[in-house]
């Protein structure tokens, strides 16, 4: 069956030459302009009619409400349409390629969602008797086993609830180990390469360490000579991201690990980019003492906007005794959680979270592992690297690669190709929105001028990658032509909202509605 399109072209005509004109409604065809919910409803209307309550005695010691809540009243269709329209304005990985570098916004298989919603996982409560959740505890234990196998590490703390939280767990374990060695007061300096994730120095500082930067060399990797010069008896350890934020594998990782160990320090590895080496290399074999794994990135889970996440932290034998509670052990009575810092957990540095972690993330991650299998996980890592290098190669025709050679799972470009065009990295990224793509990570890592970091992930097809590359190559040529500067400065033109004042939105956000506030907050 084919569509009858005779006399009815299914593709739009060339609209570039049309003069835009406003509609009477503010809508753009079926894209409906959506006001705030306070502007949709009014304060007199209501979606339901209920008789006035009579004879009700206050039961909250005089704290009952004295005035109406001043919320808009809407009929059910009005409320439903409002939230559906808002959901349609939210760009997501299920709508198109989401090329944020170092964020791994890849497709989340629906199988993961189906399993995570099974009642046995979704409806349990963290305070249930452990005898009633033996299956869930066993599932966490199996997942822990996979993580230890994949990383070559003997222990894992499952409870950290995000990547940075996992960093905190690893560094607190290192701090506890140093205190146990009697060096808690003397080893106070942590080395952090420029190519590490931005959260690494913050985590070290939060643990009370002084942060000492290590420059990147001309290849975008840790400057080995500079690193060795900074080693000393006051070094607690080093925090290296591998693959690093330049999208490159740290080739000297084994030498770095040996050197810091010889100096008496520990080696923390940021495992946020583990999806690039999963099934290919084991951090434990590289000399790593602690590393967090972003389950939501490496093993897929819808995330962004601050969560949800999960950051289990694998630990070497030297740090395993200091892992936080709770953790799961199995004995003759089944699985149980060790909750108290005594006996089996006498050396634990404490507790990070109220309960045992993110059950939904655990289920999705294990489902991803089991459905892919050993060979499938390895293939996912290889495809992620292949896709990134395809993007790097194609875009290099018009854009400027930050470094020579191939990359790992993300491709990094500088703004050199925009030099003297008047178009900045921000303008270029905003123009991508008009082409139907979410912008890449901009201005990070800081070691590259006007950085554009693109991570396509393994879940994109060649057709999808070509559409993305064609769009960026076209924009690069437009920028270099010198006659379309106005387009870049006005972009995005075709989005529901035009270019926002991002500085004002960040520094002076309007988070509370008032009757006299501007309707378009932060515009």
Buried-state track 397-429, b at ≥16 Cβ within 10 A, e below 16 = ebbbbbbeeebbbbbbbbbebbeebebbbbbbb
Spatial CA neighbour of 158 closest among 400, 382, 324: 324
Confidence of residue 298 (pLDDT cuts 50, 70, 90): very high
pLDDT of amino acid 180: 97
Three-state SS at 208: coil
From its phi and psi, is residue 104 left (phi > 0), alpha (psi between -120 and 50) or beta?
A: left
Strand partners for 28: 31
Burial tier of 445 (Cβ tally within 10 Å: 0-12, 13-18, 19+): buried
CA distances from 270 to 24, 188, 192, 197, 363 (A): 53, 20, 11, 8, 23
Q: Which CATH class is domain 374-507?
A: alpha beta
For residues 396-412, give the mean pLDDT. Answer: 97
CA diameter of the chain: 83
Confidence of residue 462 (pLDDT cuts 50, 70, 90): very high
Rg of the chain taking only CA atoms, in angstroms = 27
Task: List, edge to edge, every strand of the sheet that includes 400-401.
Answer: 400-401, 411-414, 452-454, 441-442
Residue 248 tokens read as 């490159």
Q: Residue 1 above 50 pLDDT? A: no
pLDDT of amino acid 7: 56
Domain range 112-368, CATH architecture = 3-Layer(aba) Sandwich (3.40)
Three-state SS at 291: strand
Confidence of residue 479 (pLDDT cuts 50, 70, 90): very high
Whole-number Å distance between alpha carbons of 148 and 354: 24
Each residue of 116-155: pLDDT tens digit?
A: 999 999 999 999 999 999 999 999 999 999 999 999 999 9
pLDDT of amino acid 307: 62
What is the number of other CB atoms lying within 10 angstroms of the CB of residue 295?
Answer: 31
pLDDT of amino acid 8: 53
Each residue of 366-394: pLDDT tens digit?
A: 999 999 999 999 999 999 999 999 999 99
Three-state SS at 460: coil
pLDDT of amino acid 35: 87
For residues 433-448, give the mean pLDDT. Answer: 94
Find out whether 168 and 217 touch, Cβ atoms under 8 Å. no
What is the number of other CB atoms lying within 10 angstroms of the CB of residue 84?
Answer: 11
Whole-number Å distance between alpha carbons of 160 and 412: 30
Three-state SS at 347: coil
pTM check: above 0.75: yes
Q: Residue 238 above 60 pLDDT? A: yes
Whole-number Å distance between alpha carbons of 404 and 203: 31
Three-state SS at 170: helix
Find out whether 336 and 325 touch, Cβ atoms under 8 Å. no
Whole-number Å distance between alpha carbons of 520 and 523: 6
Whole-number Å distance between alpha carbons of 357 and 368: 18
Whole-number Å distance between alpha carbons of 254 and 249: 12
Confidence of residue 20 (pLDDT cuts 50, 70, 90): low
Each residue of 179-195: pLDDT tens digit?
A: 999 999 999 999 999 98
Those residues whose C-beta lies under 8 Å from the C-beta of residue 509, and which sit 6 or more positions away, are 521, 522
Can you give the residue ranges of every domain in the chain?
112-368, 374-507
Whole-number Å distance between alpha carbons of 64 and 391: 60
The pair phi, psi for residue 460, each rounded to 5°, is -95, 140
Residue 164 tokens read as 């940075």
CA distances from 399 to 13, 146, 418 (A): 30, 40, 8
Q: Residue 14 above 70 pLDDT? A: no
Q: Residue 18 above 60 pLDDT? A: no
Helices (H), 289-406: 295-298, 359-395
Residue 109 tokens read as 């298989």
The mean pLDDT value of the chain amounts to 91
pLDDT of amino acid 216: 92
Tally of residues, the chain: 523
Spatial CA neighbour of 169 closest among 177, 303, 343: 177
pLDDT of amino acid 316: 98
Each residue of 504-516: pLDDT tens digit?
A: 888 888 888 777 6
């Amino acid at each position: 069956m084919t569509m009858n399109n005779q006399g009815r072209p299914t593709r739009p005509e060339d609209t570039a030459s049309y003069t835009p004109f406003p509609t009477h409604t503010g809508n753009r065809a079926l894209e409906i302009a959506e006001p705030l919910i306070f502007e949709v409803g009014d304060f007199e209307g209501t979606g339901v009619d209920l008789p006035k309550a009579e004879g009700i005695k206050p039961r909250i010691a005089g704290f009952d409400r004295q005035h109406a809540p001043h919320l808009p009243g809407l009929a059910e269709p009005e409320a439903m349409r409002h939230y559906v329209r808002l959901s349609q304005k939210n760009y997501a990985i299920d709508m198109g390629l989401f090329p944020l570098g170092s964020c791994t916004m890849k497709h989340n298989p629906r199988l993961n969602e189906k399993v995570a919603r099974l009642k046995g996982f979704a409806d349990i409560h963290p305070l249930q008797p452990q005898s009633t959740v033996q299956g869930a505890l066993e599932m966490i234990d199996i997942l822990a086993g996979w993580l230890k196998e994949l990383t070559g590490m003997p222990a894992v703390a499952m409870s950290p609830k995000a990547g940075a939280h996992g960093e905190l767990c690893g560094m607190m374990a290192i701090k506890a180990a140093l205190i146990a060695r009697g060096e808690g007061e003397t080893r106070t300096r942590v080395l952090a390469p420029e190519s590490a994730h931005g959260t690494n120095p913050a985590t070290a500082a939060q643990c009370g360490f002084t942060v000492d930067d290590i420059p990147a060399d001309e290849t975008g990797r840790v400057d080995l000579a500079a690193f060795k010069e900074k080693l000393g008896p006051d070094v607690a350890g080093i925090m290296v991201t591998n693959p690093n934020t330049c999208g490159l594998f740290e080739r000297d990782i084994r030498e770095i690990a040996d050197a810091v160990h010889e100096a008496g320090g520990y080696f923390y590895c940021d495992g946020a980019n583990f999806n690039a080496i999963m099934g290919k290399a084991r951090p434990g074999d590289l000399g790593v003492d602690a590393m967090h794994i972003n389950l939501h990135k490496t093993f897929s889970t819808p995330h962004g906007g601050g969560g949800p996440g999960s950051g289990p932290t694998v630990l070497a034998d030297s740090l395993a005794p200091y892992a936080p509670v709770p953790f799961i052990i199995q004995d003759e009575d089944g699985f149980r959680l060790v909750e108290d810092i005594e006996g089996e957990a006498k050396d634990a540095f404490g507790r990070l979270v109220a309960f045992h972690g993110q059950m939904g993330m655990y289920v999705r991650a294990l489902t991803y592992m089991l459905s892919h299998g050993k060979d499938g996980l390895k293939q996912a890592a290889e495809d992620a690297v292949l896709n990134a290098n395809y993007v790097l190669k194609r875009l290099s025709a018009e854009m400027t690669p930050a470094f020579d050679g191939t990359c790992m799972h993300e491709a990094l470009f500088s703004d050199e190709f925009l030099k003297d065009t008047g178009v900045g990295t921000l303008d270029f990224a905003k123009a991508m929105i008009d082409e139907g793509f979410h912008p890449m990570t901009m201005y990070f890592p800081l070691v590259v001028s006007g950085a554009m970091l693109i991570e396509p992930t393994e879940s994109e097809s060649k057709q999808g990658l070509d559409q993305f590359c064609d769009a960026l190559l076209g924009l690069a040529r437009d920028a270099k032509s010198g006659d379309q500067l106005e387009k870049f400065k006005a972009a995005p033109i075709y989005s529901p909202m035009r270019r926002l004042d991002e500085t004002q939105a960040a520094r002076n956000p309007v988070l509370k509605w008032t009757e006299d506030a501007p309707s378009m907050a932060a515009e």
